[in-house]
Structure 1
């Protein structure tokens, strides 16, 4: 996109040794001092024998953002809590730099500001400027965009960015969640160990539940470490029979039959009743985020599949310059080489 080049920004995709595109994208620009800088975003590491980016920005610890690979590089950059989550999930030592969300971190002379996006505990959006004063914002996945700043180049997600798909429109069913645990003396929620399980604990505490919450091993380790006010937690089977339990959805069937079971999801393919609780903006929220930030160019880099293209096309139809990851060429402009 010519507009990106005019703003002093080149987005590109690298290929691995098999000739396939690596996950997500990289960004090349010149710093305020005129140095050429490359940030790779939510991608796997480049083999050591090849030129490395100046930083691997990891927005959060979900596996489709490839922190399992990037965390082993001393050029990795992520929040303290994202680093903790990566270490617990993958049983590996995080090798890079960390920060508290809200801090400014300097990378090769570039001052990178960090912002909450409320997708998971520790999830981070990154903002910096190039030599032209262009403000570049990488959001990662977003649940709440209220703290995100204005920018000129927006690099964002489209997990629910297909305006033509009715499943991309939803609202969190907090009242349904509250009724479920108040109406059932013995209840279990199916929630992914990282992200959704912590959200479930936060909701239960906000809604006034102060009893014991039982969890599977990984959910327990993550929640105890990542949440400051998690309350009393224990491993499944260690406490009373009428405790609330939180386990991965596929483990609900291992719990006793007398326990009422619900899945925290927008999906309809589980055997248990679903309660809509999402860690993402829906299609309306994503569009509102772009309208509020009002960038000159938007790049949609996540997830795989057709949604980035559909979201970019929709943004174009309402007056925004936008392209999706599948439109990004891996050939760099001469002025960035």
Structure 2
């Protein structure tokens, strides 16, 4: 038994290293899913924590590829967009949950994960609304599944629709669930898409604090949503890059490392989609989440196509 575990661990580690070495985020995700479905996840108890830390580290390092002025301009430009998209998603999600007779807490978790930042939003909202472990597990499984799908299908869809990089970056930041897949999809599309996507996505993620805090108050929960300190690290990285231009080569190298670590993060996300996790996905929960995802995908695409939601690529200069 121990030899089998060691054998699986070896291949798991080898696949992780291979994923980090590639420049294509989707490959990391696909390798992770393949390993999980073929061998299972021998490090299941720790991969969730590792992927979270790896994601935070990679986001901070990606900050070295941007100027602080650009980060702030994109962030402020997207506040109204992210608020509107979250409001639309929350209303639609809760109505869908009621229509399909999904448990209230599960409906809130599925909707929050779609509206804000995937698994991070679910993790923050679960204690705030006193959700059960089972409800949290189902919501995580559904959102992670769709999040993985988003990374794979969004770049080809963007090219098929003839979207420019700025439009695609904004679209992916609004419509894809989790930060890792947003960055992965946008990075495949181009540097302008990636620059806009990561900042808009982090702005979108900030809305979890007022939402979780309000939910905790309504449910009389003592839990307070944890502050995501890596967001401060992202801003500091951009500030350092701006204040110390002489270190440009170093900052570029750190940003490149961040891109590779993001691919490693996506491998771990894929490795979490084991058969055991997929079995947790209920038909109604999946149906509600898919319909909700289609709604926000089409609404955001329409708003961007009509110029209602717009961020100029010149903002990155």
Larger radius of gyration: 1
TM-score of the aligned structures, taking structure 2 as reference length = 0.25
Q: TM-score when scaled to structure 1?
A: 0.24
The higher relative CO (CA closer than 8 Å, separation ≥ 6) is in 2
Greater fraction of residues in strand:
1
Structure showing the higher helix proportion among its residues? 2
